[in-house]
Structure formats: C-alpha cells, structure tokens
Chain A
Amino acid sequence: MSEFLSLAGQNLLSPIILSFVLGVFAALARSDLNIPEAVAKGMSIYLLFAIGFKGGASVASYGLDLRLGLSLLAGVVLSALLPLIAFALLRVMTNISRLDAAAVAAHYGSISIVTFVAATSVLEGRGIESEGYMVAVAAAMEAPAILSALWLISRGGGEPSKGMDSALMREIMLNGSIVLLVGAFAIGWATGEQGLKEISSFIVNPFKGVLCLFLLDMGLVAGRGLRGGSGVLTRGVLAFGVLMPLVGSVFGLAAGMLLGLSAGGVALMMVLAASASYIAVPAAMRVAVPEANPSLYLTLSLGVTFPFNLTIGIPLYVGIAMAMTGG
C-alpha cells in the first residue's frame, strides 16, 4: 500500500501529469491557450516513432521468444473480449441505447497509445524493465474491438453503415498510428542498439519534454470535451468510465501473469487493457455507426477514463504488477 501511495504521489507531481492538469485547467477556465493543430500532429508522430523504435531496439537486444507471439495473441483476444464485458456493464449501469453502448464498448476494447507512452515513461523513470514487444501488442489491440462492437450491433438487429466495407477495414488496419508504430518498431528491430545509439539524441533525450507538451494539449482537449460534453455524463456513465478500466486491468493482469511477463510487462498489459481509444475507434465508429452519439464516447474515453488512468490508474497498475510478480 505504501509503495502504491509513494508511486501515486510521485506520479501526480511529475511534470507529465502536471502539464496535463494545466491543460485541463486552462480549458475549463476558458483560457485561449491553444496548441496549433500541426504542432500537435507533429508531436504525436514524434512520440509514436520514438516509442516504436525503442521497442524494436529492445527486442533486437534481448532477442525473440515464444512469449512475443503469445502476447500478441493475448492482446488480440483481450481487445475482442473487453467490448463484450463493457457492453454488458453499460447495459446494466446506464440507460443509454444499445447502439451507443456498442460504440462506447468498442473504445474500451481498443487502446490509448498516449496512456501506454505515459506508462512506459513512468516505468523508465523507476528503472522497471519491460518487454520491448509490448509496443507490437499495443498495435495488435487497436482493431479487434471494432469488429466485436459491429458484431454486437448486427446481433441486436442494427445495421452498420454501408461504409463498413473493405475500405473501412483497410483504414482501420492501416491507420497512420498503426503504420508508424509498427514501422518504427521494425526499423528499431532491424537496426538494433547501434541504430538507437545513432538517433538517441533525438528520440531518447527530448522524449519526456515532448510528452509534457503533448499532454498539455491532451489536457486542453479533455477539458474542452468535459466542458462541452458534460451533459451526457450521467452518474451511471461516469461510474462506468472509472469502473471499466479497473475491470480491464484485471484481465490484463491475468493475461500478463499467465504469459509470465516481467513486472513492467504485466503493468503495460494492464494499462493496455484498461485504456480506451480516442483516435482510431472514434473515426471507425463515425463511418460505421453514424447514429451513435460521438460526444458520449469521446467524452467518456478522453474526459473520464484517460485522466483516471493517467493520474490514478498507472501507479495502481504498476504497484499491483510489482506486488504480484515480486518485481
């Protein structure tokens, strides 16, 4: 318990979290603070490239084992399974429509790469090792949740839009974030420690500073979302936004322990299972299920679950993973 409290305290007072809090505060206070769209896009490209490259270089150093394949498989299963649990919880805890519940559920099976990046930063800060291939697991968990949600909709007699076709599948599988993450991972893997050494002054040293600025922007977006979308947050919906990441993290913990991952690997698996998408899945839902309410799923994933994971979730998951693995 004291380990968790110490970790939570350190996490809350880290520049990363305080930058996020500043963004939320500025948005709620209606400040005109604004990160230009192109700058935010540039920072997200930088972060994805850096995290993918470092993961690949780490795999090159430590080598491959069967766990990589099994971890990928576990990620896919978790991503497909969690929307079913989220959907059931939403139907019990809230009175939102079946369509909205399925769209929200898709977000909770998929992942938030920024939460993953923040968690790796916390692990690095505490010197906790994790498997480099968890980046690839993150990429594998983006899409299956969308298919589960569409299955839930069709099972209930709903009709996914005519847009749900091969074009949408291609957009989901080859969306920019996945291509960049997997591509950078492959480059890091191919070039190994030497490649990392060559560009470390660019992708290692400035990483935390860029992450701070990016989270400032995320804070602004989350704050604006909360301001504009607070009307959709009923008590039940709000409770779901906090409960579901905890439920997901338990499944992530079980998967990580079964796979025999390191303490850092288990923590990252918990983070992936606990996080909710706000990039890939909302775009897919807008195309496939345009009748679902976007302010509901975006406010929940970005305004409730993302801040929860960032401030309380990550230290909790790391603490539990350390305790369970004896790491």
Chain B
Amino acid sequence: MQTHKAKRVEITIENVMESRLTDALRKAGVTGYSILPVLGGSGRSGAWSRSGQVSRAQGMVQVVCIIRPERLDALLDAAFEVVERHIGVVSIVDCDVLRAERF
C-alpha cells in the first residue's frame, strides 16, 4: 500500500505548560495534535505518579503531532520557545502515514 513520509514529534511537558505549548503550536500553523495524560515516571527529581496529585503543578502531559517533514523546523522553533526553561522532553521520529492529505 502507498504510504507517505512524515515526522512524529512527541513533547512531554509539565501540565501547567500545556495550554501555552498548544497555543504556540497553533500560532506556528500546527493545528493537528493529540494530548495524552502521563501516568507517572521518573526523572532527575525522582519518581512521581499521577495519582494523588493535589496540585496542577505536578504531573506531565504528552503532546503528539504528526506533520509533513518540511514543517518540522517551524514546529520545533515554536515548541522550543515554550519548553526552553521547563522540565520536559522533545523527541522526533520518522514515520509513515497512509493518507497524505489527512493523517
């Protein structure tokens, strides 16, 4: 079957920064993304879990975008503006999608 090359960008970021990140992405023309809750994990500050959090200050979400390769730089510039000083991970992987016009 015919597939098309795309980039999948996963941005794991603090809860409190979610709306700032998605606003920046929309401004950069990235209108398609999914937001996933992160159940827990472990990092430089130790292990944490989503359950029992009393504050939005804790906890992370993951914003996933699949875009055409030529739009990657604009997305990363927008994301970097937001995540630069904050806890988080930005990763990019190559992927294939079935429909070029609609992922």
Q: Are A37 and B50 in contact (CB under 8 A)?
A: yes
| SS of B interface (majority) | loop
The yes or no answer to A218 lying at the interface (CB within 8 A) is yes
The yes or no answer to A134 lying at the interface (CB within 8 A) is no
Q: Are B56 and A294 in contact (CB under 8 A)?
A: no
Q: Are B58 and A298 in contact (CB under 8 A)?
A: yes
Question: Which B residues are CB-close (under 8 A) to A220?
Answer: 52
The yes or no answer to B86 lying at the interface (CB within 8 A) is yes
Question: Which A residues are CB-close (under 8 A) to B85?
Answer: 161, 290-291
User: Which of B16, B47, B52, B86 is the one whose CB lies under 8 Å from A283?
Assistant: B16
| SS of A interface (majority) | helix
Q: Are A294 and B45 in contact (CB under 8 A)?
A: yes
- With CB as the reference atom, state the residue of chain A lying closest to B17: A287
The yes or no answer to B1 lying at the interface (CB within 8 A) is no
Q: Are B20 and A40 in contact (CB under 8 A)?
A: no
- With CB as the reference atom, state the residue of chain B lying closest to A293: B45
Q: Are B52 and A278 in contact (CB under 8 A)?
A: no
Nearest-CB distance from B61 to chain A (Å)? 13
Contact with A along B21-57 (1 / 0, CB 8 A): 0000000000000000000000001111011111111
Q: Are B87 and A279 in contact (CB under 8 A)?
A: no
Cα(A286)–Cα(B15), bound, Å: 10
- With CB as the reference atom, state the residue of chain B lying closest to A224: B52
Apart from A287-B20, A291-B85, what 17 extra A-B contacts exist at CB < 8 Å? A34-B51, A34-B52, A35-B51, A35-B52, A37-B52, A167-B19, A167-B20, A221-B52, A224-B52, A228-B48, A278-B54, A279-B54, A282-B58, A285-B57, A286-B57, A294-B57, A295-B45
Q: Offer 22 A-B interface pairs, CB within 8 angstroms, sorted by A.
A: A34-B51, A34-B52, A35-B52, A36-B51, A37-B53, A161-B85, A217-B52, A221-B52, A224-B52, A228-B48, A279-B55, A279-B56, A282-B55, A282-B58, A283-B16, A286-B14, A286-B17, A287-B16, A290-B85, A294-B58, A295-B45, A302-B54
Q: Which residues of B are at the interface with A, using a C-beta cutoff of 8 A?
A: 14, 16-17, 19-20, 45-48, 50-58, 81, 85-87
